[in-house]
Amino acid sequence: MTGFDPFMLTEKVREKVVQVRNGTEYRMYYRFRGGKWYGGIATGDVVGCNLRCKFCWSWRYSHGYKNGKFYNAYQVFHRLIDIASRRGYRYLRLSGGEPTLSQNHLLQLLDLVDETDYLFVLETNGLLIGRDKRFAEKLAIHKSVIVRVSFKGASPDEFERLTGASKKFYDYQFKALENLIDAGLEPGERVYPAIMLSFSEPENIKWFVERLKSIDPALPESIDPEYVILYPHVIDLMKRYGLKPKKAFRPNGLPGFLI
């Protein structure tokens, strides 16, 4: 699927993972769980994504549409709150796939979270936010939201190699940051960049940092670096595509190498 249009894929995936019932938007999920990230966070893992990352830890669900169940925002909210309250977490999130594929569902969920003291981390590739300034504005009005825009590589060429999407769509990830900052989210605190660095060249990382700096000086200081975790199913996926990370970690947190 090299060079595909992720916005066209968005529409195809949305048909499978989003339903509207009596005016309410339902999204497909495959599990709810607690976890150590962010110091402890309750997570709903969604099915479906508009990229096809060749290192994706949840590719069996983000690249397909099976083994999921539909939930409305109210049901998801109570699932997450139940996990967070029992474990003493402060944070909630959606992960596993691309949460922004179901815009109304996401915004309804944020409405509910805003009525609590919890914070909601929106992990997104940012493409749909970068394309739609109004979406960024709708997100920014929610007091609970923190947006983590996860860049897939440090250059347009890396983006295409890693995701299969055309390199011309890479800039939408930067545009997401711009739109969210323009909408009022504080850079480095309520909106910040993450980036997959396992496959990046040093010169590309330098270019990436300078590009962030041109948007806002706080962004390079808040980069959240990501590296591949060598789960067996991730190794299988990378081998299928002939992809070998320069730096990776084993599930126990120790450095590892793909053989």
Type of residue at 84? A
Model confidence at 67, pLDDT cuts 50, 70, 90, reads: confident
End-to-end CA distance of the chain: 25
CA atoms within 13 A on the CB side of 38: 21
At 138-154, the pLDDT tens digits run 999 999 999 999 999 99
Which domains are present in the chain? 6-226 (3.20.20.70)
Mean pLDDT of all residues in 212-225: 97
pLDDT of 178-202, one tens digit each?
999 999 999 999 999 999 999 999 9
What is the reported pLDDT for 227? 96
Enter the DSSP assignment of 187: B
Q: Please say if the pLDDT value at position 254 is more than 70.
A: no
The pLDDT value given to residue 256: 65
Residue 219 pLDDT > 80, yes or no? yes
Residue 89 pLDDT level (bands cut at 50, 70, 90): very high
Is residue 134 pLDDT above 80, yes or no?
yes
Residues 102 and 25 sit within 8 Å (Cβ to Cβ): yes
Residue (of 99, 190, 187, 179) closest to 135 by Cα position: 179
Confidence of residue 41 (pLDDT cuts 50, 70, 90): very high
